[in-house]
């Protein structure tokens, strides 16, 4: 099944299947294709929606988590979505946490995978080296347990992004916004069922971060995925999907 990107009222997104809504949020260097295996499996029984977050296009003064939350709220209003299961990877997990705390009645269940919000060792913390393909290749591969998961297509996509000064400025602004916005005190208020799916070999948000999330969110359960780094839905999609399926059926 190929990913079909729709456009409506200035938004670009995936909307596949029917039924209970699964809202998926990608990370800083993420793309809609990161969730392809999730879309393929779950669109048979759920309505899977993935907005393309305007990380590289936002006005610089709005480039941060607050701007992304406003974007998500406008998107959900446009799509008339009042209830969903929310799933976020990396920066998308951080965004999901903030949204849940503002709109808990609209979210049935929360899933975080490699989420920022407590600690992250991220590429975006300093200005990415423009023009260095080898540097970008090394950093992209660093996010995966098996470097081969970082396809040439993915590396090329990130490289093209980092060649743009305006995009780099937004990447840095987003990363710094995430690093400043520590949620340790806030997430103790989350009361909805939460699943943490974490790569046991995550170098960006290490396993200690997953344990901290698990401790702070009292309604959470934690599942580790071996031989997996920062994006379990890409590296170990069968295991990720199995954990997600079981959680949604509970």
Section 158-165 average pLDDT: 85
Output 75 or 62, whichever has higher pLDDT: 75
- pLDDT at residue 216, rounded to an integer: 97
What gap in Å lies between CA 185 and CA 188, rounded to an integer?
6
Residue 198's SS3 state is strand
Confidence of residue 122 (pLDDT cuts 50, 70, 90): low
Domain ranges of the chain: 6-249
CATH number of 6-249: 3.40.50.1820
What gap in Å lies between CA 105 and CA 101, rounded to an integer?
9
Confidence of residue 63 (pLDDT cuts 50, 70, 90): confident
Residue 194's SS3 state is strand
The answer for residues whose C-beta is within 8 angstroms of residue 192's C-beta and 6 or more apart is 100, 104, 107, 108, 109, 110, 219
Confidence of residue 223 (pLDDT cuts 50, 70, 90): very high
- pLDDT at residue 126, rounded to an integer: 44
What gap in Å lies between CA 25 and CA 91, rounded to an integer?
8
Confidence of residue 212 (pLDDT cuts 50, 70, 90): very high
- pLDDT at residue 199, rounded to an integer: 97
Section 127-132 average pLDDT: 59
Section 153-178 average pLDDT: 86
Residue 73 pLDDT exceeds 70? yes
Confidence of residue 125 (pLDDT cuts 50, 70, 90): very low
Residue 32's SS3 state is helix
pTM of the model: 0.92
Residue 120 pLDDT exceeds 80? no
Mean pLDDT for the chain? 91
């Amino acid at each position: 099944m190929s990913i079909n990107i729709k456009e409506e009222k200035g938004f670009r997104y995936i909307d596949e299947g029917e039924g209970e809504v699964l809202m998926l949020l990608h990370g800083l260097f993420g793309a809609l294709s990161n969730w392809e295996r999730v879309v393929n499996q779950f669109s048979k029984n759920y309505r899977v929606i993935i907005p393309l977050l305007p990380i590289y296009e936002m006005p610089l003064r709005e480039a941060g988590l607050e701007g992304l939350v406003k974007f998500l709220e406008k998107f959900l209003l446009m799509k008339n979505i009042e209830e969903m299961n929310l799933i976020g990877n990396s920066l998308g997990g951080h965004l999901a946490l903030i949204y849940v705390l503002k709109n808990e009645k609209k979210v049935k269940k929360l899933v975080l995978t490699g989420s920022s919000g407590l600690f992250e060792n991220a590429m975006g913390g300093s200005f990415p080296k423009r023009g260095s393909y080898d540097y970008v290749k090394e950093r992209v591969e660093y996010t995966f347990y098996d470097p081969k998961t970082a396809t040439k297509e993915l590396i090329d996509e990130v490289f093209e992004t980092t060649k743009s000064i305006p995009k780099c400025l937004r990447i840095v602004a987003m990363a710094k916004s995430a690093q400043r916005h520590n949620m340790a005190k806030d997430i103790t208020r989350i009361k909805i069922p939460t699943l943490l799916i974490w790569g046991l070999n995550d170098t960006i948000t290490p396993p200690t971060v997953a344990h901290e999330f698990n401790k702070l969110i009292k309604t959470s359960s934690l599942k580790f995925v071996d031989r997996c780094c920062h994006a379990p839905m890409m590296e170990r999609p069968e295991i990720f999907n199995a954990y997600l399926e079981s959680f949604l059926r509970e």
